[in-house]
């Protein structure tokens, strides 16, 4: 990494714009023991564009970390293949894959200083001393670690250790940056700050990134696209807003955020919408392409923040069971003939909060509801 300018912030290589196209082609990984075989990754395919930030999201055991480890070269796929910029890398050892990983545990060398940890990879590649020194200073500046280069990892806070781990990865100028739940050991406030920092640096450098987390907020706030996984398979790949408002399956709808489900019998299905009857109303709402008129097992998905409540002396169709005040919002549980609904009101007026036991009218926003098949 030859630098001809004064140390500043990390900058993308001149050839970065077209580098880092990653393809996963029908990856499968089966772990076999004497007693059983478990398929951790099941026929996973994915195309990642250069510079794109993709998050693998799902519950524990869904296969997201195993997928990441296969991409990194730490696991070997049972079948399927991986390409980087059009070239197969299945047989390429991890250290030669033009990738760098940021681990959950930071994986810093305790016997090395901050500066030595950051520069470790370049020294392994036998880069000239002056180039290593310059690159390290740029990384220190970019990650706000100036003045800490002579400290040991145990003298740093969790956030500082994470920035050292990120600097160590970035200094290698990889084509693909891999993240294995890197923020799970940080407190909530620091996680939020590090999310923004990682995304800012990733966008500026244009490094293709594959990020694993079970934290929905991380996935929604950082990603260009989210890959929702369940039981080793991909349930949906889409931008965060589409994942949230147009989930492909009941699992995705239920896993991402909070959702209410009312069983319905769709009518007049066509042009991406359907007519349904819910809570005494006839509504025309967006519908998943697989929904069919008269089909059994369809559900109307309604996000809590899209429901409105009004106290009703007469004609109410629900009763407030419980209200929970959060300051910025209030959550209600409302008993109806279709089951208990979760309702969220943002920016509540304390004088107008609805008490438990109150009869209420329930209004649904049809444009922000969605009909899905239950299967």
Domain with CATH 3.40.50.300 in the chain: 16-245
pLDDT score at 283? 96
Least confident of 71-85, 139-153, 272-286, 324-338: 139-153
* pLDDT at 3 exceeding the cut of 80: no
Note the pLDDT tens digit of each residue in 150-185. Answer: 999 999 988 889 889 988 888 888 999 999 998 887
Q: Is pLDDT of 104 > 90?
A: no
pLDDT at 187 over 90: no
> For the whole model, what pTM was predicted?
0.89
At 5, the pLDDT band (50, 70, 90 cuts) reads very low
Q: Say whether pLDDT at 72 is over 60.
A: yes
The reported pLDDT for the residue numbered 77 is: 97
Provide DSSP, 279-321: TTEEEEEEB-TT--TT-TTEEEEE-GGGEEEEE-SSS--EEEE
Among 50-54, 88-92, 294-298, 310-314, name the one with the lowest average pLDDT: 294-298
Superfamily classification of domain 16-245: P-loop containing nucleotide triphosphate hydrolases (3.40.50.300)
What is the model's pLDDT at position 8?
A: 58
Residue range(s) occupied by CATH 2.40.50.140 in the chain:
259-373
pLDDT at 2: 37
Classify residue 200 by burial, with Cβ atoms within 10 Å: 0-12, 13-18, 19+: exposed
Supply the DSSP string of 123-158, one letter for each residue: HHTT--HHHHHHHHHHHHHHTT-TT-TTS-GGGS-H
pLDDT higher than 50, residue 122: yes
Residue 257 clears pLDDT 80, i.e. is over it: yes
Q: What is the pLDDT of residue 125?
A: 83
pLDDT recorded at residue 13: 61
pLDDT at 6: 39
Q: Are 22 and 44 in contact (CB under 8 A)?
A: no
240 or 169, which is more confident: 240
Higher pLDDT, 295 or 309: 309
pLDDT score at 188: 81
Which pLDDT belongs to residue 140?
Answer: 87
Look at residue 14 in the predicted model and tell me its pLDDT: 57
The arithmetic mean of pLDDT across residues 363-367, rounded, is: 95
Indicate if the pLDDT at residue 94 is higher than 50.
yes
How much is the mean pLDDT over the chain?
Answer: 90
Span 221-234, average pLDDT: 97
Pick the CATH number of 259-373 from 2.60.40.10, 2.40.50.140, 2.60.40.2550, 3.65.10.10: 2.40.50.140
CA 10 to each of CA 13, 140, 196, 222, 291: distance values in angstroms, whole numbers, following the listed order: 9, 9, 17, 20, 49
């Amino acid at each position: 990494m030859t630098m001809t300018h004064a140390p500043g912030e990390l900058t993308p290589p001149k050839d970065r714009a077209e580098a880092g196209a990653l393809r996963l082609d029908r990856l499968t990984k089966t772990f076999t023991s004497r007693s059983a075989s478990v398929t951790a990754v099941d026929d996973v395919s994915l195309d990642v564009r250069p510079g794109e930030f993709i998050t693998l999201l799902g519950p524990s055991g869904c296969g997201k970390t195993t997928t990441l480890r296969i991409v990194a070269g730490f696991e070997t796929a049972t079948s399927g293949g991986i390409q980087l910029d059009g070239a197969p890398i299945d047989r390429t050892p991890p250290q030669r894959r033009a990738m760098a990983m940021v681990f959950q545990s930071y994986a810093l060398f305790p016997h090395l200083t901050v500066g030595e940890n950051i520069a470790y990879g370049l020294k392994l590649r036998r880069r000239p001393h002056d180039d290593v020194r310059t690159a390290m200073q740029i990384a220190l500046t970019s990650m706000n670690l100036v003045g800490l280069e002579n400290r040991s990892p145990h003298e740093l806070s969790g956030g500082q250790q994470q920035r050292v781990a990120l600097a160590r990865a970035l200094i290698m100028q990889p084509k693909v940056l891999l993240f294995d739940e890197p923020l799970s050991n940080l407190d909530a406030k620091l996680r939020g700050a590090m999310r923004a920092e990682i995304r800012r640096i990733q966008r500026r450098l244009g490094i293709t990134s594959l990020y694993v987390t079970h934290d929905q907020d991380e996935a929604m706030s950082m990603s260009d696209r989210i890959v929702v996984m369940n039981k080793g398979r991909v349930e949906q790949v889409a931008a965060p807003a589409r994942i949230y408002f147009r989930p492909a399956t009941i699992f995705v709808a239920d896993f991402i955020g909070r959702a209410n489900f009312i069983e319905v019998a769709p009518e007049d299905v066509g042009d991406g919408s359907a007519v349904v009857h819910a809570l005494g109303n006839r509504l025309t709402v967006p519908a998943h392409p697989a929904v069919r008129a008269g089909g059994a097992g369809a559900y109307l998905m309604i996000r809590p923040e899209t429901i409105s409540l009004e106290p009703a002396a007469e004609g109410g169709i629900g009763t407030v069971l419980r209200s929970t005040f959060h300051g910025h919002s209030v959550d209600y549980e409302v008993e109806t003939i279709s089951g208990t609904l979760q309702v969220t009101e943002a920016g509540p007026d304390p004088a107008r909060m609805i008490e438990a036991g109150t009869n209420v009218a329930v209004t649904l926003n049809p444009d922000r509801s969605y009909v899905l098949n239950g299967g």
